[in-house]
Amino acid sequence: MSEEKQKILLVDDDDVFGFILKKFLEAKNFLVDKINNSKEAYALFNNHTYDLCLLDVMMPLKDGFTLAKEIKAKVPDMPIIFITANSIKEQTLIGFDAGADDYIRKPFEMEELFLRMQAILRRSVKPQVHSDNDFANVAIGQYTFNFNTHTLTLGKNKRKLTTKEAQLLHLLVLNQNQLLIHSVAMQSVWHHADHLTHRSMDVFITKLRKYLIDDPNVEILNARGQGYKLLVKS
């Protein structure tokens, strides 16, 4: 049986860009509804089920921020990525305040957007398939990670992790051997994304690397400009 395709709502008033992006996503095995204004998009959202929304910020009739708030009011856990040509920092903050999971500026590499979408979609389905007990004792190479008690154990040595250290390691474990996007980690652990948060996250990654240093088969890789990957060699 073939895997069910995930459905995307794409809202952008640039018909040429929207057409190209729609074709790209369809080539990546998504089902895509492309709409060029927020009013029609919200009506469509009310009558269909989507896995993720891609919203342009500046659109006629109603901007993307307003549409995002309406969508979140109806489906609070709906993943949303804003697409914009605006580089103003304040707009990014407004976007996250409106409920965005991520924010990408034009022009961008579509493969980068695809990676970000994958990361958010993986995260969004985890609560449906895992309980807390699934992470009571998880093997990370020779280590045992207990997310419930925030402990990392190797042999007789047990280390108590801070809440953020445990949350960040938990995300890395969920995405083991796959890329964890910077913005996804920041939103999940710090609930906002900016330069200072990014620097703070780098510090936490450095700490986690030190905690895992005694197993040569475990490594946290840095994908420059994209995110991190917890690599566990078999």
Across the chain, mean pLDDT equals 85
Boundary residue ending a domain (99, 126, 153): 126
Around Cβ 206, how many Cβ atoms within 10 Å?
A: 11
Q: What is the pLDDT of residue 77?
A: 81
Assess if residue 183 is contained within a domain. Answer: yes
For residues 118 and 136, membership in a common domain is answered with no
For residues 15 and 104, membership in a common domain is answered with yes
**Looking at the DSSP assignment, which residues form a beta bridge with residue 158?**
153
Q: What is the pLDDT of residue 126?
A: 44
- Positions of the chain with pLDDT under 50: 1-2, 126-132, 134
Q: What is the CATH number of the domain that holds 58?
A: 3.40.50.2300
Boundary residue ending a domain (126, 147, 168): 126
Q: What is the pLDDT of residue 118?
A: 86
For residues 135 and 223, membership in a common domain is answered with yes
For residues 58 and 97, membership in a common domain is answered with yes
For residues 11 and 108, membership in a common domain is answered with yes
Tell me which H or E stretch contains 113: helix 110-129
For residues 227 and 138, membership in a common domain is answered with yes
SS3 state of residue 24: helix
For residues 27 and 84, membership in a common domain is answered with yes
Domain that residue 160 falls in: 130-232
Residues 6+ apart with CB under 8 A from 132: 147, 148
By C-alpha distance, which of 10, 101, 115, 5 is closest to 56? 10
For residues 201 and 143, membership in a common domain is answered with yes
For residues 137 and 207, membership in a common domain is answered with yes
Tokens matching residue 195: 């330069």
For residues 24 and 119, membership in a common domain is answered with yes
Split into its structural domains, the chain has a count of 2
Q: What is the pLDDT of residue 148?
A: 85
Assess if residue 50 is contained within a domain. Answer: yes
For residues 148 and 78, membership in a common domain is answered with no
Boundary residue ending a domain (94, 126, 158): 126
